[in-house]
Structure 1
């Protein structure tokens, strides 16, 4: 597998995997996520998001050119506060692997690619969030050395 950077013009390549990832979230938390956004809306949103210079999207691509999985992350500057140490960190926003490529190391390879790229830039912290129902993501993050440090809860009327 090789890794490629996904530009805003290439955003359409991520839409099928994003649709699957979004459907998983809708099935578990329908009050939080709108069902069935159009492919066009997802592509436009991704293209806009990927236009931000602090956001990077990378895809693992098969020898035939198929997107096996993708990762989207951003670089965040966190100012020091009296109650928090300042830092520059990479925030992993999305990771998705096509069903036919799951449990083959694609997710780990994407995170390792991200780690190599951000550590080369001197960044020593990677953070992420994941939903409690997404046990596959939780297990992947743990395997990659990430441990929960904060729990976020919501109440919705």
Structure 2
């Protein structure tokens, strides 16, 4: 298992949930919620967090449909991940399947007695925590890097439009 802090990202149309791991990559905790912004302040904030925590990796949730296909939300997550990768240089950015993470977040908060409808930003952070914990578990169990790596495009490759 690699050592180093990782960030988990749950991209939404209004908010972006962020979680971080401990420096040993053992467990993820909710960190904050960032407002989605077409002007780029959301990306700047995530880049700031990558720098602040000296993150070795950013795990972005990829919301696939139950049948594995991808829709508008997956396209939005892929676009966000590519925009982020352009800004974080050598820091690894990857996409991890996050089917049902928001539902799991709502259930966890309900079990804890938190009204998730009144605390939507907390739901986003917990969803990011679930995504990151999934990636940490995958790496721990398989010994391999989690997810689908996001690379800067070279000639002939296609990047999602912004």
Settle same-fold status: TM greater than 0.5.
no
The higher radius of gyration belongs to 1
TM-score by length of 1: 0.32
**Which structure exhibits the higher relative contact order, with contacts defined as CA atoms closer than 8 Å and separated by 6 or more residues?**
2
TM-score of the pair, normalised by structure 2: 0.31
